[in-house]
Structure 1
Amino acid sequence: MSHGISTTKYIIHGKIEVEGIVEKPDVVGAIFGQTEGLLGEDLDLRGLQKTGRIGRIQVTIESEGGKSFGKIQIPSSLNRVETSIMASALETVDRVGPCTASIILEQIEDVREVKRRQIVSRAASILKHWEEEVIPETQEITNEVLQSIKIGEIQKYGKENLPAGPEVETSNSIIIVEGRADILNLLKCGITNTVAVEGTNIPKSIIELSKQKECTVFLDGDRGGDLILKELLQVADIQYVIRAPPGKEVEDLTKKEIVKIIRNKTPVGKILKEPVKTKIKTKKDKKQKKFRQAPSAKPKKEKKPVVEIPTQLAEGITQLRETLQAKLYNSKKKVIDTISVRELTDKISDYKKEIFAIVFDGVITQRLVDISAEKNVKYLIGARKSKLTKIPMELKIRTFDQINLRSSKAKK
């Protein structure tokens, strides 16, 4: 006789404890025997199993110290109400053979919900791959039309007259590259918020700009890129790092490669934890040779943390991770309130006391930034940050992965 089930909607999970030594058949027999006739013909366990509405009862059992412990699983294609009734009936079993027993329901698993989550996850993966691999023809045509215009849009930035894209001053975030050729290639891809360092001596204009905007460094995948990265990490405020593949230069990358690399940018906190190890020998152009021969402007020294914050705030980060809580600090850096992240925006809108800093295990949103600015908050530190369109100069906005906790805790 087949006890298969055509479509499983739910799985009843229970645990069993027996005051004695029993085997799997004993448990299954007790379930059938003690539920028989209990719920009427429509919900008779044997009848439901014959018609395929209840699946085979799965039992795992172990014995120790004169007692038996185990798990029970019963697949069900009944509706939610009927499945709940069956789960409740399962808990009425109080003996297995001559031994006292108890069955406790652990959960009713919704198999369809698991499948829905799998569908959503797989669909997201398919869509991401599609967007990376398949560029619409109309977009290609538009890019070709705009390409000739964008090539002529390289501007000069700062006192050093650095090559830059047209939106380097107006954008909230910038991409720092090595040279003019890199700017040109990114302009062809529609990326306009760029500026070039043009050597290992980092210009003051870029150092100042890094304090005002979110900065991503996009460098060649060679030793020259390593040198510039080390120098930038010492003197500028960098949030993300992206590199061309080993042996390749940014100016030679295709649009598809650039888009994929930018999407996978690495928070600078991860870079600081391990030294750069790229050692690739490639043919260098004149610009690259000049770059290798130029002496370093500063002696090698240990990397400074990206951001240093007061000790009390650093301790707050350690305490708040994975809690969905927020801490408010006064100007003496003492905690004046602890609230849930869900209530944070509404709470600080009506807050009467002075707030010096907010540290919370959540996402920094534009609305939260605006309210913090109105309340004259000096530090806004969150686990992650959404896309921000307006950042007040007087408000320091940082994410957990930008902060070197060890260095911050050493700062008084």
Structure 2
Amino acid sequence: MAKTYINTAKYEVLINFRIEGMVEKHDIVGAVFGQSEGLVGEDLDLRELQNSGKIGRIEINQRTQEGNTFGDLIIPSSMDMVETCILAAAIETVDKVGPYKSVFKAVSIQDMRSKKREFITQRAVALLQKLLHEEMPDSTEIAERVKNEVKKSQVTSYGKDKLPAGPSIEESNSIILVEGRADVLNMLKHNIKNVVGMHGGNIPPSIAELAQKKQVIAFIDGDRGGDLIIRKLMGTAKIDYIARAPDGKEVEELTRKEIEMALRKKFPAANNARERYEQAEYRPSYDPRPAKRVERPESFERSTTAQGAEQAAEPVVATAAAVEAPMPDKFPTILASIKGSLTAKLLNAGYEEIETVNVRDLVKSITKDKGIKAVVFDGIITKRLLDTCEESGVDFLVGIKKGNVKEGNKTRIIAAE
């Protein structure tokens, strides 16, 4: 039996025929093979081509009508284009099948690879559309997915109550206490890791135990539910500070800027704060800083620049003592008078001048005189100078610029630039 290799055919030759008589298929095949033999050389002999697999099995479709036979031949070829065309032309020379005259006519030579190319094109389009619309997420979706996976990987469990917490809950000296897991995830999203969540309104024993070892900032939602939770929390555990989300918002939906602003406005959870909650007098607009803002020369203002993600997680605000002490109006005038002189004015409790000293002697002078309540100087506020003022009980430290220092617990910092 001849080899076919239909699946590897490059071309398909279609030849129509008409025979003036009634014949069988084997008669047609015999005529084609016999009359083309040796016509175009041994290399293109049909038998040799079939034996070598260069052409496939010849398919014949025929019908009879009024004593004549009509039909077509289909010959698959794996030869090149030129040899296939020569073969088709050779078959057209068959002019007799048995005793009957015949006419063979090559109708078409179809490139089988074009069908495959068309299939490849259509299939590639379909696959690409599926990839673009179903499989491939856009950049925003990818970024959000990565963030969510990172957040989930950072969530840990704390205590026997398995409370959702950030990875820094153990080593941090202060913690931020929120209502639930969603709040914890949002805080981690903004790189605030010293956070632990409760189970909503249920305050587990782990919270009370943790509050005995660390400074606790209770960060609640800006709604009535948040007020109720903080009342219950203050009666159950030791709370050092209270921070509240903007009115009508929950911690889990806050942006980083809103979180930082809320934490900066935290206030001590002292007895007066407890009374405010018990009397339902707390308002989200409460600001522990003095309401009065002093006019200042040029760009004189208090610096509130964020100190990085970790500092934003543990912001420092004025203490109750600083809240009660309004800023004197004379500070901007005094600072303007000494600008460029590299000197400092030391003021008493009535904010009257005690003495004027050089900036290089300022630390020594503050340590020596315990009656100083305000320092106004022509220089940069440094951590060393702030620590000295804290130890000496100075209420206000006023300078030209503020270095890389946090707000003091006792001493309030005011910078002109």
TM-score range, shorter chain: 0.3 to 0.5
Higher gyration radius (CA): 2
TM, length-normalised to structure 2: 0.33
TM, length-normalised to structure 1: 0.34
